[in-house]
Chains A and B, each alone.
Chain A
Amino acid sequence: DIQMTQSPSSLSASVGDRVTITCRASQYISSYLNWYQHKPGKAPELLIYAAASLQSGVPSRFSASGSGTNFTLTISSLQPEDFATYYCQQSYSIPLTFGPGTTVDIK
């Protein structure tokens, strides 16, 4: 199975801050990497697919990059509605594993 790791596990930030989350796969996954946002009591939301493609309707302050084993998600200017937990997920091989999540909360 491919193991996914994320760092940091949590971070505190202020509105307007630039935030970067990293995700690493235990083996090569090409660009089969997705990013999700999950808020308490809500369904997860797909933000990014294929490592760097912004899902339709997702604000342009979200961007992502990477391929192979190393990936990043960046929020260019954190907004109040962005405080949530973010997960990466590889869809290169079964089982489709998630990272452990990064919780972004208010400083």
Chain B
Amino acid sequence: QVQLVESGGGVVPPRRSLRLSCAASGFTFTSYAIHWVRRAPGKGLEWVAVISYDGSDKYYADSVKGRFTISRDNTKNMVYLQMNSLRPEDTAMYYCAKASDSITVYTGGHYWGQGTLVTVSS
């Protein structure tokens, strides 16, 4: 069955870095884009970034552009989110999600992981 498992969250001081990982299984990983979505405490869902099935296209929310980098390793079925210059407002549960349609990034997230919590605080 399809599984996505996030890891790498934790407590980090402002302006530091953290790398999140998303391990995927149970589907043809090389055919699907992967999204990162977050939910801050007391707030709604916020789309963060997406990477295309082959890693050639990457897109970001304005709130993280220039600070976060999404990447993938299709030999390991892994997606990463490198988060630099973290701010308190980046505190959130971070989810990775498999695109609901193959190939395109212009699609929702079908299967989601359980999330990994990032807390930015001194």
For window 62-93 of B, CB contacts with A under 8 Å fall at: 62
Q: How far is the CB of A85 from chain B (nearest CB, A)?
A: 8
Asked if A87 is an interface residue, CB under 8 A from chain B, the answer is: yes
**In the complex, what residues of B have CB within 8 A of residue A87's CB?**
44-45
Q: Is the interface of A mostly helix, strand, loop or mixed?
A: loop
Is A96 among interface residues, defined by CB-CB distance under 8 A?
yes
The answer to whether B108 touches A49, judged by C-beta atoms less than 8 angstroms apart, is yes
Main secondary structure of the interface of B (DSSP, over half): strand
Which residue in B44, B100, B115 is a CB contact (below 8 Å) of A101?
A: B44
Number of B interface residues at 8 Å Cβ cutoff, please give it. 25
**Are B100 and A89 in contact, CB atoms less than 8 angstroms apart?**
no
Contact at B44–A44, with CB atoms within 8 Å?
no
Partner of B59, one of A49, A95, A98: A95
Whether B28 is near chain A, meaning CB under 8 Å from some CB there, is no
Q: Judging by beta carbons under 8 Å apart, are A94 and B105 in contact?
A: yes
Pairwise interchain contact A95-B115, C-beta atoms closer than 8 A: no
Q: State which of B47, B95, B113 has its C-beta within 8 Å of the C-beta of A96.
A: B47
A96 touches B112 (CB 8 A): no
19 contacting pairs across A/B (C-beta < 8 A): A34-B108, A36-B45, A36-B108, A38-B39, A38-B45, A43-B114, A43-B115, A44-B45, A44-B109, A46-B109, A49-B107, A49-B110, A55-B110, A85-B44, A91-B108, A94-B50, A95-B47, A97-B47, A98-B47
Name the 6 nearest CB pairs between A and B, nearest first. A34-B108, A43-B112, A101-B44, A94-B59, A96-B47, A98-B45
- Footprint of A on B, CB under 8 Å? 35, 37, 39, 44-47, 50, 59-62, 95, 97, 100, 105-110, 112-115
